[in-house]
Amino acid sequence: MPADEGLLDRIVNWLPTTLGFKRVASWILVPYWAHKTPVKPLPGGPHASFQHGDNVQCMMNLIMPLKVKSPIGRAEAALAIAQNKDAIYAGLNNVGTVHFARFVIVGDNICMFSVYDGDFTNYIRDFIATIGQVFNAVVSLVEGGDDVIPCEENVEAFIQWVHERDLYQVPDTPTDFLRDQEALNGDRAVSPVNDDLTLLPRKLVLQLRANPNVSLGSGYRAYPGYSAAQVRERLGLGW
Amino acid sequence: MNDIADVQGNILRGYRKPYVRYLILEVADPGAARRWLAASVSGHGDGVPQITPYNWGKDKPDTCFNIGLTYEGLRALGTPSASLAMFPNEFIEGMTARALKLGDVGPSAPDNWPKPFDEPKRIHLIATIYADKKQQLDQVQERALAGGALKKLDTREGCSFEDDAVHFGYRDNIMQPRFEGIHDRERHDDGQPRAPLGTVLLGHKTNLEDLMWRVPQPAALGHNGTFNAFRVLKQDVVGFEDYLDQAASDLLKHKQVDDVLAPGAEAKIGEVLKLKGLTRHGALREVVAANLCGRWRDGTPLALSADTPDPKLVKEKFDYTGESRCPYGAHIRRCNPRGGQIVQRVANNSRRLVRRGVPYGPLYVRTQPRDPGKAEPERGLLGNFIGASLGAQFEAMSCDWLNLGLQDPRITESNDPITGSNDPSASWFDLPLKSGNTIRLRGLPRFVSTRGGAYTFLPSLSAIRFLGSLTT
């Protein structure tokens, strides 16, 4: 901090750290910024890459708001999963590219988190072909889900619907989200303004307004990426 | 509705005409272009070339003519926005936007594509002329471009070689899917289940149980249509032959070389492949070429005859079940694993494509002396990869199978040895031996690079009439 900082500078620097200012900014300033500088939501899923290691153990973080926002709605969701447990296991086996899959209820959302290999659309399509009825049972409880079920007859729309609910994965180097913004806007030239980290908070705030839920990074691995089948093969489990 | 007569002729049958020219066109005048489309299915053969249908009657036409439309082309023609929105994402985005999925990186990246593919949004319509004689190509082209409805951006032209050979010296045109309900004129039983018609035409049952692809509406537009990935694929023939030399030299020094090529087998290989005086080194070159592809260069599948080619074998009927000696990573096995074990069990037989291709550039004759100071002419393949879902078939095969090797953990993290975006510093390929062991070949360079392409919709004749009748 510069030593010659005056009283006014100190107030300006202190003000944003106060809770009251943050609340006022959230209600007034951020909507005003968003109105003046519209920011598009960034698409979900892993960043496209041709590197082999980036195409195994990919993350899907699906957050789906329930239609019935109450304990009854949450119980219905839990029941839908429980009733289809065997089909889910069979599906995981037949699709062959899944490492882990979890269903989680957070608030009034049913969430599906999974780690899979290969292309996202192939992954979802293979799941539809294998256990489409499970997707139908779960998605029928979710806001906007009726438009895309039965998923077997709405394959393209269903995949798109899932993709839109998959969380944006902020790059491992978080400032790289600026590059994603530029790519989304078709701006291929890197603006020097966007490299100025003093402006990052506003851009980050606006992006997180457009993408309220995000994955921070694309997952941290304790070992290099292997496909589910490679793991099974090397452990002698068959694949 | 199962009216196959409504389907363009190049989808379900090959014309077997030696000369092929692709006209890459832009809509210059939307109204005139719509009238051009209407005229192309009018039955009046003196003006705009007539679209060749599946049923052409008793006599095969002298020339054939078919079209594909890009998303931008459909837009330029005034297709209603509600209909446009029903086309799949991959088609709407176009081939250049899908570069990473297709392995179009490095020298294959769209940024390096020459004209007219450097301006993909201007490519609206790709018309294909098939002819017995080269001069017929000019005649049909002249008729197609008369009137100024369509502006020619550029052309690409190919010519078949004798015996269905393609660059790299393999015999091609051996396999195409056979479809349920379609009379199989020429094809032998290939041992594979007949593909449901929905593999190649919209509006029909697909190979994935209960799954249907979305048909753009109205039905007249989408039904019986399909999609095509048109690709200009440059082949480095000299690089390929040089690699075979190098690999054969390395194998000659390998302690297990007799497991790769039994002593004396070179005589049989030379006899079948018509290579006089084939040396052991020369025979090893052929063994490597056969393993990279999954077929000997005469078309004999390794799955049936791994030690030597055999001209007496039926070249279509085989599978990868049991102890097949076809490498897991061989090109044809990656493209179509048939009934063999794969990781994505639901995907067996679901990513099949109709392939129509013609070589371009002069035939490479290895024995002809080369001038090292002179650049080789460009050679390659003008390929069409046709299926009802680009995403579920062409892209799924390219991304997960050819580029990632996800279908089998023994090849995961390797690229297709022939068409893959290989880097010699990291590439590898396992050559199987009789003993069950493998020899790992390394240092494969990129043999094939993409020099252009476009996703097109191949409309039915009804769809062409529909588009021709639009008024905006």
Please tell me the predicted confidence (pLDDT) of residue A222: 87
**Higher per-residue pLDDT: B46 or A106:** A106
Instruction: Please tell me the number of Cα atoms within 13 Å of A149 on its side-chain side.
Output: 16
Instruction: Specify the number of domains making up chain A.
Output: 2
Whether residues A60 and A163 fall in one domain: yes
For residue A193, pLDDT beyond 50: no
Range of the domain at B458: 4-230+453-468
pLDDT (average), residues B384-409:
96
Q: A69 with A163, same domain?
A: yes
**For residue A65, what is the domain's CATH number?**
3.30.70.100
Tell whether the model's pLDDT for residue A173 goes beyond 80. no
Best of B215, B227, B413, B415 to mutate (most A CBs within 10 Å, chain A): B413
Q: Give the pLDDT confidence score for residue A122 in this predicted structure.
A: 94
Does residue A149 form part of some domain? yes
Whether residues A190 and A159 fall in one domain: no
Q: Tens of pLDDT along B10-56?
A: 999 899 999 999 999 999 999 999 999 999 999 887 799 999 999 88
Residue-wise pLDDT for B246-271, tens only, equals 999 999 999 999 999 999 999 999 99
Contact status of B396 with chain A (Cβ, < 8 Å) = yes
Q: Residues B414-462: pLDDT tens digits? A: 999 999 999 999 999 999 998 889 999 999 999 999 999 999 999 999 9
Does the pLDDT of residue B1 top 50, yes or no? no
| pLDDT value of position B27 | 98
State the Cα–Cα distance between residues B93 and B384, nearest whole angstrom.
18
Q: Which of B272, B278, B412, B275 is nearest to B344 (CA)?
A: B412
In terms of CA atoms, which chain A residue is nearest residue B90? A156
Which residues of chain B lie closer than 8 angstroms to A128, CB-CB? 211
Query: pLDDT-derived band of residue A194, with 50, 70 and 90 as boundaries?
Result: very low
Give per-residue pLDDT as tens, B270-300. 999 999 999 999 999 999 999 999 999 999 9
Provide mean pLDDT across the span B394-409. Answer: 96
B209 touches chain A (CB under 8 A): yes
Residue A187 identity: D
- pLDDT score for A184: 80
Answer whether A230 sits within 8 Å of B412, measured CB to CB: yes
Instruction: Select the residue of B208, B214, B400 nearest A129 (Cβ to Cβ).
Output: B208
Looking at the fold, whether A56 and A163 belong to one and the same domain comes out as yes
Nearest residue of A to residue B204, measured between CA atoms: A153
Would residue A6 count as lying in a domain?
no
Asked if residue B63 lies in contact with residue B140, where contact means CB atoms within 8 angstroms, the answer is: yes
Whole-number pLDDT of residue A33: 87
The Cα B215–Cα B223 span in angstroms is 6
Q: Please tell me the predicted confidence (pLDDT) of residue B431.
A: 96
Which residue of chain B has the CA closest to A235? B409
Q: Looking at residues B154-158, what average pLDDT do you find?
A: 98
- Residue B121 within a domain: yes
Chain A, 69 to 108: residues with Cβ < 8 Å from chain B are: 94-97
- Residue B331, domain member (yes or no): no
Start-to-end CA distance of chain A, whole Å, equals 59
The complex's ipTM? 0.91
Mean pLDDT lowest among A185-199, B194-208, B396-410: A185-199
The answer to whether residue A200 scores a pLDDT higher than 60 is: no
Q: Is B408 on the interface with A (CB under 8 A)?
A: yes
Is A76 inside any structural domain?
yes
Provide the pLDDT for residue A163. Answer: 95
Domain of A83 in residue numbering reads as: 52-167
Q: Please answer yes or no on whether A156 and B89 come within 8 Å at the CB atom.
A: yes
- Do A116 and A206 reside in the same domain of the chain? no
- Partner-chain contact A155 B213, CB within 8 Å: yes
Q: Do A94 and B400 touch (CB under 8 A)?
A: no
Please report residues of A whose CB lies closer than 8 A to that of B209.
Answer: 129
Residues A73 and A154 in one domain: yes
Torsion of CA B239, B21, B331, A56, to 10 degrees: 100
Q: What are the chain A neighbours of B204 within 8 Å (beta carbons)?
A: none
Confidence of residue A187 (pLDDT cuts 50, 70, 90): low
Say yes or no to pLDDT of B159 above 80.
yes
Own/partner pairs, A29-36, CB within 8 angstroms, 24+ separation: A30/A205, A30/A206, A30/A209, A33/A202, A33/A205, A33/A206, A34/A206, A34/A209, A34/A210
Per the structure, the count of domains in chain B is 1
Of A167, A197, A232, at which residue does a domain stop? A167
- Looking at CA atoms only, how far is residue A98 from chain B in angstroms? 10
Q: Both A127 and A178 in a single domain?
A: no
Mean pLDDT estimate for chain B: 94
Q: For residue B301, give the DSSP letter.
A: B
Q: Which residues of B touch A53 (CB under 8 A)?
A: 413
Hey, how many other C-beta atoms are within 10 angstroms of the C-beta on B59? 6
Domain contains A157: yes
